[in-house]
Structure 1
Amino acid sequence: MPLPDFPTADQEVIHVHHKGNNLGPFAGPKLVDMLDAGELAAEDPFWFPGMSDWIKLKQAPQFIDHFRAAAKPVGPPPPVPQSRDDQLDAVFGKLIDKSWAYLDEYNFASRIDEIFLGAVITSTLDAGYNLIDLNSDGQNHYLRFENFDDGSRTIFRLNHFTGDLVSSNVIGQKARVMVGYGERVGNIGTIMSALKAEVKSGIFNNAEPGSIVVDADLTSGYIYCQVDMFWSLDEIISRNYDIDYETLAEWIRASNNALRKYLRGRFAN
């Protein structure tokens, strides 16, 4: 018996007579699932609107195949098998990609020292200070700034100690930083004598992070408070060499503010 047009996959209009029971209505995909699961049999008669009579499921294989194809999930096409030559080309391509990635890491580790130095200079200049001295000894950078309005000075000793890939990959990009704040004082001789006694006592030997060290320059008449810290360069310099000047400037302002208060509290005239 020819069948009318099949219902759509979402139309629940198919009835099945199974073991004396009338089941349904079902949608076509549901009927196929039940048939494949053994919940229906090929001998079971079925009917949907438009059919003139009931017929057995096995008499309409085109009907079953239609909904089985509709229910089959559509996935990506199976991968095309690669030839041995294509496989080797893919391996070679990955080696080149990894080499570029390694070179990028090496360049970043070797350049970040100069980038950090430039960032500190820029941030300190933006804070109103003028660079009056800069030198390096191959390991440390020494910077001295002066605010021409009030005569105060800010000094730095910068040491980027994770310039090799092994240490930087383990602990990140880190720098040991000494920040100092200084002001000119009138009684520099008296203060120098007191400081010499402190140095002789060993109080300031091997200063730990957060320990404030006091020093004085008899020639210029400045007294300095300085502190050692470790700064994470990953927080202010991205892998794309973008610099977070705002955060860096805030670190410098906070350090100067703390050292200024200590200096004035201890050596107030």
Structure 2
Amino acid sequence: MPVFALPFPVIDPVALSFGPIAIKWYGLAYVAGLLGGWWYCRKLVAAERLWGGRARPGVDQLDDMLLFVALGVVLGGRLGFVLFYDLERYLARPQDIVQVWQGGMSFHGGLVGATLGLWLFARRRGIPAMSVFDLAATVVPIGLFLGRIANFVNAELWGRAAPDVPWAMVFPNAGPVPRHPSQLYEAFGEGILLFILLGLVVRAGGLKRPGLVAGLFGMGYAIARIVCEFFREPDPQLGFLFGTAGGTGGGLTMGMLLSLPLFAAGLVLALRTRREPAAS
């Protein structure tokens, strides 16, 4: 046991309870992330100078957009976890797939579901899909930040052993070894840093180039996730996909693997914008 190890600030994962009904911080993070993104979207679509006349959703259409995104996130996130992270278990017990209250969501699956939902929304409303993707990409880091904070509150998805790191924590149910608070690393990288980066790009005219903001989001998230995966304990049912890990290096995780095509897709989108003139 090292000299320096921070105690984990134990917080009840249940935020509110009314008799048999319990509202958890994780569920509140999803709701707050969606509502926070909806509010920010209203500000963005109302700022004409950011778009240069480019077609985009109207303020009155954002309620529908929120519904499509919410359904996509929940359905895609759950199916992504089932397929990528614990398929063997769910093949043996398919009835558990619908038990989302027991946990188990995949960001990459949620992203695919949200993208499909946004595409359907854009098609139904006759709006260029890339405008919708750029708008959504700008606000996603809000939900990512809140989700990772909820992971920390739940003492889940903890980091790898770090006995010599002064800010390491001993997490409940993770043994006596101090570990990286990797949930907070992800909240900072995938949430705060990415939010600031995309905000700066938007204010520099990024929304006038269809696909630029969405592409930068894909690349930015992939980089942040891969870096943080070096400090995060892999999912116990999967472990490391290739090789072994020592300290904070070595071994490929599922989070890293799924982030590679996301980075490639983001790069393609961003490069495409160089061939097209920006809206004036």
TM-score (ref. length: structure 1): 0.25
Task: Please say which structure displays the higher CA radius of gyration.
Answer: 1
User: Which protein is richer in strand relative to its size?
Assistant: 1
Compare relative contact order (CA 8 Å, sep 6+) and give the higher one, 1 or 2: 2
TM-score (ref. length: structure 2): 0.24
User: Which protein is richer in helix relative to its size?
Assistant: 2
